[in-house]
Amino acid sequence: MVKFTDRKEELESLRQRFENLRQGELIILYGRRRVGKTELVRKFLADNVAAAEGAYILVDERAPADMLRSISEDVSISWPEVRADFKSWESFFSFLGERARERKTVVVIDEFQRMHADPRAFTRFQKLWDTKLKDAPIMVVFLGSAVGAIQRIAISSKSPLFGRATARIKLRPFGYQSFRQALAGIDEEMLMKLYATFGGMPSYLSFAEQCTEASKYMGVVEAAMLRKDGLLRDEPQALLRMELKDTGRYNSILAAIAGGHRNPKEISDQTGIGAGQIGFYLNKLERYLELIKKVTPLCGKHRPQYVFQDNFFAFWYNFVFRNLSALEIENYGYVKERIGAEMPAFEGRIFESVVRELLAKWNGKKLGDYALDFSELGSWWGRKEGDVDIVGLGKKSMLVGEVKWENAPVDAQVVAELENRISFLSCTPEQRSNVRMLVVAKAGFTPSAKRYMEEKNVVGLELKDVARMFDSLPQK
């Protein structure tokens, strides 16, 4: 069983708001399904709220009258002394106001966006909040998974709840630091493979924790994603269907990005979606669902690219979606061979993002004898000149780096090629005069590389160094 991990900041925010509760707190806590919203509020309730003070209510997809019946049952379960039988939204919200007159009260309403099935629900809440609840010691926590519906109901300037929320908390998947903390004890190389496969969604950790040994990995992936009855086989499609219309176009875009078509023109050409339309769909996937992100080369003028922000989606579109025909005829062996052959390169791209995450957390500290001090962190690419995996720009300095996920030690040629590419970067004279090189290599360095790096004053890190640096960071 994976222990509850991370979310300290969100828990502390909820705790402080409850501790200082004197008047109404309306908190919108939302995020993609399976990101851990329910687990977060349950831990908050268990650790901070007495049984008589807190209630958890799940809004089912039902007819409005039946919805109120279900809410009545949940209230009676949380507060057994109450025989609730709400016949209207007004009676439900009025009851909460009356209860808050007696004691501090916390009410968590999970999947609150489903209440919108009855147009009266939020107009009644709006009225009761403005006239009674906002001045009472009550904390109402609305939890929601349908990001689009939540934007319309609670965040948009035209929404019935607009201007009333006292806090909005959006939960996002874990980064690598929290992921490895949740799976402590697993070998670092295996952790990287698991992070590349399942990403940082908390509910997927139960699959990752089954892979305590490398020999178990492919069996877990097959059972979870490749087989028709796998719990994650249709997961990305379910999310897209819940949030978006015309999922076929979004599938084509995500498949194109997985196939290496990353700038808008390439994606448009590959999918057949017109150049004038492609931005609309990319914006939805980036800003709305946060499945992809737009990256621009630092110190360069080349076209921006779109890359996956969610590792699980990247893995699924690379290895499941592209092989659905083989999976339909249960040719699992073929797909597993593809995964085995292509996974090292796929992991390498994820390793680059992990190194950038580490450097961002390490900024202001020393890396060997080099003090990290940058205000921008990213990468650079050219048309034919290759790319630079790490670019950290300070006001008067620049860090450039190469990241290698290979089983063989890096040789001196890799370092020399990085040095040569520095000349293609557009930067200030001060930055160019104070460049430091960094090479991160999973398997370390050859003797010739070590000599060359010492001569050029290059910082070198191996996978064990990356693990040590993450270990030394404060736990989340």
Same domain, residue pair 184 and 333: yes
What pLDDT is recorded for position 454? 95
Q: What is the mean pLDDT of the chain?
A: 93
Whether 202 is covered by a domain: the verdict is yes
Same domain, residue pair 192 and 271: yes
Whether 358 is covered by a domain: the verdict is no
pLDDT, one tens digit per residue, over 184-235 is 989 999 999 999 999 999 999 999 999 988 899 999 999 999 999 999 999 9
pLDDT, one tens digit per residue, over 222-258 is 999 999 999 999 999 999 998 898 899 999 999 999 9
pLDDT band at 1 (very low <50, low <70, confident <90, very high): low
Residue 428 per-residue DSSP state? -
Same domain, residue pair 296 and 370: no
What pLDDT is recorded for position 3? 59
Q: Are 267 and 278 in contact (CB under 8 A)?
A: yes
What pLDDT is recorded for position 62? 87
Residue 409 has pLDDT above 60, yes or no: yes
Whether 356 is covered by a domain: the verdict is no
DSSP string, 95-153: HHHHHHHHS-EEEEEETGGGGGGSTHHHHHHHHHHHHTGGGSSEEEEEEE--HHHHIII
CATH of the domain at 442: 3.40.1350.10
Same domain, residue pair 197 and 236: yes
Same domain, residue pair 113 and 210: no
Residue 416 has pLDDT above 90, yes or no: yes
Mention every residue, 6+ apart, whose C-beta is less than 8 A from residue 23. Answer: 134, 135, 136, 137
Which H helix or E strand runs over 38?
helix 37-48
Paired with 169 in beta bridges are 29
pLDDT, one tens digit per residue, over 78-117 is 999 999 999 999 999 999 999 999 899 999 999 999 998 8
What pLDDT is recorded for position 147? 78
Q: Give the end of a domain, one of 170, 188, 203.
A: 170
Whether 311 is covered by a domain: the verdict is yes
pLDDT band at 170 (very low <50, low <70, confident <90, very high): very high
What pLDDT is recorded for position 5? 67
Same domain, residue pair 160 and 254: no
And the tokens for 271? 């999918």
Whether 224 is covered by a domain: the verdict is yes
245 CB neighbour count, 10 Å cutoff: 11
313-335: average pLDDT = 97
Residue 380 has pLDDT above 80, yes or no: yes
How many domains are contained in the chain? 3
**Using alpha carbons only, how large is the chain's radius of gyration in Å?**
25
DSSP string, 221-234: HIIIIISTT-TTTT
Same domain, residue pair 15 and 144: yes
Whether 101 is covered by a domain: the verdict is yes
Residue 297 has pLDDT above 90, yes or no: yes
Q: Are 461 and 439 in contact (CB under 8 A)?
A: yes
Same domain, residue pair 335 and 413: no
Q: Are 75 and 68 in contact (CB under 8 A)?
A: no
Same domain, residue pair 113 and 214: no
Lowest mean pLDDT among 60-74, 156-170, 369-383, 403-417: 156-170
400 CB neighbour count, 10 Å cutoff: 26
Whether 447 is covered by a domain: the verdict is yes
What pLDDT is recorded for position 107? 96
Same domain, residue pair 283 and 303: yes
Instruction: Using alpha carbons, select from 431, 403, 397, 432 the residue that is nearest to residue 415.
Output: 403
What pLDDT is recorded for position 156? 77
Tokens 């979870």 correspond to what residue? 224
CATH of the domain at 85: 3.40.50.300
Same domain, residue pair 269 and 386: no
Q: 3-state SS of 275-344?
A: HHHHHHHHHHHHHHCCCEEEECCCCCCCCCEEEECCHHHHHHHHHHHHHHHHHHCCCHHHHHHHHHHHHH
For 342, the domain range is: 178-351
Instruction: Using alpha carbons, select from 33, 59, 358, 334 the residue that is nearest to residue 203.
Output: 33
Same domain, residue pair 391 and 284: no
Lowest mean pLDDT among 33-47, 153-167, 233-247: 153-167
High-pLDDT (> 90) share of the chain, %: 80
Please measure the distance between the N-terminal and C-terminal CA atoms of the chain and give it in whole angstroms: 18
Whether 2 is covered by a domain: the verdict is no
Q: Give the end of a domain, one of 141, 170, 199.
A: 170
CATH of the domain at 272: 1.10.10
Q: Give the end of a domain, one of 151, 170, 189.
A: 170
Most confident of 146-155, 380-389, 394-403: 394-403
What pLDDT is recorded for position 267? 97
Region for 222 from its dihedrals, namely left if φ exceeds 0, alpha if ψ lies in -120 to 50, beta otherwise: alpha
And the tokens for 135? 């001045």
